[in-house]
């Protein structure tokens, strides 16, 4: 795996249990520097404070959704190339298409395991 396991990862989800699950899966893969945000607004603030190597964000959040966060990240000149993986419980093709058009690097449908997450991350950095 040519992924830098020391890079900081930002997990964005308004559901604390899901943040803990993703954090644990990332730890299984080998990531130790994992930060979290409860919604898109908090994530944007953290993205201004620190340089992350990857964002893993839930789609369905309030008040700013993961999709809106993705669009804001892609519109920001400093963040436009930041790898972004979207996580959702909905496998609707229109959502996948919208996320792809908005510039998402990869897409994961819940539930998923460490191997799925690892392969999605590898695809982002090797693809």
Residue spans of the domains in the chain: they are 9-126
Q: What's the pLDDT at 15?
A: 94
Angle ∠(46,47,50) on CA atoms, nearest 5: 80
Please tell me the predicted confidence (pLDDT) of residue 126. Answer: 87
CB-based contacts of 76, cutoff 8 Å, min separation 6: 47
pLDDT tens over the chain, length 127 residues = 479 999 999 999 999 999 999 999 999 999 999 999 999 999 999 999 999 999 999 999 999 999 999 999 999 999 999 999 999 888 788 988 999 999 999 999 999 999 999 999 999 998 6
Q: Pick from 29, 24, 31, 28: which is nearest to 7 by CA?
A: 31
Q: Say which CATH topology domain 9-126 has.
A: Rossmann fold (3.40.50)
Strands 106-109 and 54-58, how do they pair? unpaired
């Amino acid at each position: 795996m040519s992924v830098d396991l020391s890079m900081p990862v930002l997990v964005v989800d308004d559901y604390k249990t899901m943040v803990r699950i993703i954090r644990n899966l990332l730890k299984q893969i080998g990531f130790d520097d994992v930060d979290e945000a409860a919604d898109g607004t908090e994530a944007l603030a953290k993205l201004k404070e620190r340089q992350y190597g990857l964002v893993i964000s839930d789609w369905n959040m309030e008040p700013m959704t993961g999709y809106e966060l993705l669009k804001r990240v892609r519109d920001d000149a400093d963040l436009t190339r930041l790898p972004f993986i979207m996580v959702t419980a909905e496998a609707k093709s229109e959502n996948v298409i919208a996320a792809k058009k908005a510039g998402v690097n990869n897409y994961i449908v819940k539930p998923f395991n460490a191997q799925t997450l690892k392969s999605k991350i590898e695809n982002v950095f090797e693809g």
